[in-house]
Amino acid sequence: MSLYTNIINKVDKIAVIGLGYVGMPLAIEFAKKVDVIGFDNNINKINQYKTGIDPTKEVGNIEIQKSSIVFTNDETKLKEAKFHIIAVPTPINPDKSPDLSPVEDASLIVGRNLVRGSIVVFESTVYPGVTEDICIPILERESGLKCGYDFKVGYSPERINPGDKKHTLTNIKKIVSGMDTESLEEITKVYELIIMAGVHKASSIKVAEAAKVVENSQRDINIAFMNELAMVFDKMKINTNEVIEAMNTKWNALRFYPGLVGGHCIGVDPYYFVYEAEKLGYHSQIVLSGRKINDGMGIFIGDAIIKELILAGKKVKDSKVVILGLTFKENCSDTRNSKVNDIIVRLKEFGINPIIVDPQANPIEAKQEYGVELFDIEQIDYADCVVFAVAHNEFKSLSINKIKNLYTNGKNEEKIIIDVKSILNRSDFEDLGFKYWSL
């Protein structure tokens, strides 16, 4: 009898290790079909899940409350499972090199509790070779078992888009791979339980690892191209958004837009590719150039804010700048690797301590990660400049009068709007005498 058969008959269980933006949706969907153990070493997160609270806001409190997932931070519970999915983050170090410590730590935990006949699938983004060259040796050492005989391994890169309620886990095609034909078939059948869009069987684990890094690098490069154009068009006094609207009338336009590129995928994955390429003696040109452009956009926008304050005749150091948005993207609570922080840091270099508003972000995480205190938009008044940094629905739905109320009321006071994502109608505000700048 196969492991898949045992799982659907609830003889064996699935364990999801890492209950964040990737692991939690996986655990929720699998629990609708089979028995699932949800493991995370963050006791605070586990306690929230146990009380029916979803800190990621990816699946929602109701889904958590009605789920049969067994939430735990006790690693010995993993001995009850035979199909392990590791979905922990893989960030980068300050020098932009891969930080593999989370996936290595997860491998240690799973290895200590691995039983014969198990399959371990990694979903964390890595460069080609990590699963086989780094993770398998850890699993073997900690378990005392032999990979290929006592247990098997696969790789299936996560493709979840945090905050996206249209392209969700079940309707995004899943790439799967296994160390051999048998493991590939078992892994495929398990994922087919929940992935309605179907799966793509990669020929090897390395191919699957590379596919994930490449798909995000491609997107990063395309956005970098638009960011470079936006910087040049700013000097030319040309509206970038109008150029894009005109360009998009052609059938094969790619429809990318300029903006801040952060988060745990697009802002990180290209560095994994670059790191491994350089180990092999190849110095990346296109990928690294794209990263350099995108990493510099926070400073560019910060400088644009300073310039607009000066042109408006304001004393820069005394200016009240309000930034709407801190998360790395719209309609998402994830603040990891947010490039909005680069704007904040740049403004502070000029003596400005901006006020930050973000109804989606977790105030505790904002304080821990960036030393930022979050304010409610109702607390904001007498602003000199308001920066629409993240296109949350809450900000897009603000009325013109509500936005006006964020500023001073003096007749001669210049009101500055920095519309990073071009979510406002420029003419509406210029007709009212606002100084308007967009990327």
Which sequence positions are flagged as catalytic? 265
392 Cα distance to chain centroid: 15
In degrees rounded to 5, what are phi and psi of residue 367?
Answer: -70, -40
Per-residue buried b or exposed e for 330-347, using 16+ beta carbons within 10 Å of the residue's own CB: bbbbbbbbbbbbbbbebb
CA 354 vs. chain centroid, Å, equals: 24
CB 384 within 8 A of CB 408: yes
Under 8 Å between Cβ of 329 and 389: no
Q: Are 226 and 200 in contact (CB under 8 A)?
A: no
User: What does the alpha-carbon distance between residue 101 and residue 116 come to, in Å, rounded to a whole number?
Assistant: 25
Helices (H), 68-133: 101-112, 130
Paired sense of beta strands 321-324 and 199-201, if any: unpaired
Give, to the nearest 10 degrees, the angle between helix 297-311 and helix 286-295.
40
Residue 299 Cα to chain centre, angstroms: 21
**Residue 363 CA, distance from chain mean position:** 18
Q: What angle do CA 421, 426, 428 make, to 5 degrees?
A: 135
Q: What's the full length of the chain, in residues?
A: 439
DSSP 8-class letter at 133: I
CA distances from 245 to 12, 101, 374 (A): 54, 44, 34
Burial-class residue 198 by CB neighbours within 10 Å (0-12, 13-18, 19+): exposed
Between the alpha carbon of residue 255 and those of residues 117, 160, 186, 219, 340, the distances in Å are 47, 20, 38, 11, 23
**Measured on CA atoms in the order 22, 28, 30, 35, is the torsion positive or negative?**
positive
In 3D space, the residue among 103, 110, 85 whose CA is nearest the CA of residue 34 turns out to be: 85
